[in-house]
Amino acid sequence: MNIRRRDFFKVALASAAAVGPARAASNDAVQQAACLVDTALCIGCRKCEEACNRANALPGPDRPADHRTAFCGERRPTDRALTVVNQYPGTPSRDQRHRRETYAKVQCMHCLDPACVSACIVGALTKSEAGPVRYDARICLGCRYCMVACPFEIPAYQYREALAPRVVKCEFCANTSRGPTANPACAEACPVEALVFGQRGDLLRLARQRIADRPDRYLDIIYGEREGGGTCWLYLVGRSPSEIGLPELPGISPARLTEKLQHTVFRYGALPLAAYGALGALMWHSRRREQRADPTRPADTGGRAR
Ligand code: SF4
Ligand code: SF4
Ligand code: SF4
């Protein structure tokens, strides 16, 4: 059965929301490096994709920026494209009836409490104080738990690299010569300033101001302020986020979900596990007793033929 990562998290996160409240985001989150994506301004030129590939020394996008065929289906980031822009039919907002489509850029959201970091058993992914979620290929085991854990379906894997495949994702350009607190390549390349780089607290204020100034353009939500426990990439939207590829997530981080589930299993699952263990031991002793009583009976081989 092919269950999309996003569908799995919809169910799991709904269960977590019922289990208990989210952990409050750190006060330091206001100072973390962040980016505001204004989907009402984005024109789908894909200059950000090209700039991202250049900054990360990747080959150019499979389809150059002027190839509209790139919009034939919804794309996700890959090992050769850390960010992609998708097109959705329908006007971006009430005041933009002249436009027939909406564009939304996709990349790592640099979550405040990242599920990928929580899932990585060796610490190859880390959340830096400055905001970017970093990856260290020297530590990575290649287990790809991070890919399963991410509710935004972001980390990709270099399946084509036979010798030393890596997990690949946007690191907010912190891995490039720009460093973790500089304007990233994608934001710098955007010709219409649909991408604004800054501190998370400042960008939330800017987003609220834009919403207040243009209620005909924006819905009264900032996607990423709370979704998934909060993210450093924030989105201004003029239509429902789920219509433009942004998953519906409750305000709890998936990392807290797995923690809660583990605690629940240990608290309520320990007793059944102990019972199954005792039952297995009893069955083994019973078979041994029967075998001693009747030496012609084959010994217990653990189910394997001799
Ligand atoms: S979007 Fe996914 S890969 Fe990026 S920080 Fe969040 S959980 Fe990790
Ligand atoms: S922040 Fe850097 S790595 Fe991330 S999408 Fe933008 S250009 Fe690419
Ligand atoms: S460069 Fe700016 S306007 Fe062009 S697709 Fe990227 S975000 Fe949209």
- pLDDT tens-digit map of 139-160: 999 999 999 999 999 999 999 8
Residue 258: which pLDDT band, with cuts at 50, 70 and 90? Answer: low
Are the CB atoms for 222 and 62 separated by under 8 Å?
A: no
Domain of residue 142, residue span: 5-253
- pLDDT tens-digit map of 271-295: 445 444 544 444 444 445 444 444 4
CA 244–ligand 1 middle distance (angstroms): 18
Q: Whose CA is nearest to atom 2 of ligand 3?
A: 190
**Which atom of ligand 1 lies closest to the CA of 228?**
6
Look at residue 277 and tell me if it is in a domain: no
Task: Please give the Cα distance from 195 to 38 (Å, whole number).
Answer: 6
Q: Whose CA is nearest to atom 7 of ligand 2?
A: 52
How many domains is the chain partitioned into structurally? Answer: 1
pTM over 0.75: yes
**Which atom of ligand 2 lies closest to the CA of 105?**
5
Q: Which two tokens stand for residue 54?
A: 């250049």
User: Is the model's pLDDT at 82 over the cut of 70?
Assistant: yes
Look at residue 293 and tell me if it is in a domain: no
Look at residue 281 and tell me if it is in a domain: no
Check pocket membership of 110 for ligand 1, CB cut-off 6 A. Answer: yes
Look at residue 289 and tell me if it is in a domain: no
Average pLDDT over residues 249-259: 81
Q: Whose CA is nearest to atom 2 of ligand 2?
A: 173
Look at residue 299 and tell me if it is in a domain: no
3-class SS string, the chain = CCCCHHHHHHHHHHHHHHHCCCCCCCHHHHHCEEEEEECCCCCCCCHHHHHHHHHCCCCCCCCCCCCHHHHCCCCCCECCECCEEEEEECCCCCCCCCCCEEEEEECCCCECCCHHHHHCCCCCEEECCCCCEEECCCCCCCCCHHHHHCCCCCCEECCCCCCCCCEECCCCCCCCCCCCCCCCHHHHHCCCCCEEEEEHHHHHHHHHHHHHHCCCCCCCCEECCCHHHCECEEEECCCCHHHHCCCCCCCCCHHHHHHHHHHHHHHHHHHHHHHHHHHHHHHHHHHHHHHHHCCCCCCCCCCCCC
Check pocket membership of 184 for ligand 2, CB cut-off 6 A. Answer: yes
Average pLDDT over residues 64-71: 80
Look at residue 280 and tell me if it is in a domain: no
pLDDT, the chain, mean: 82
Look at residue 221 and tell me if it is in a domain: yes
CA 304–ligand 1 middle distance (angstroms): 44
Look at residue 305 and tell me if it is in a domain: no
Q: What is the pLDDT of residue 131?
A: 96
CATH number at residue 154: 3.30.70.20
Q: What is the pLDDT of residue 27?
A: 56
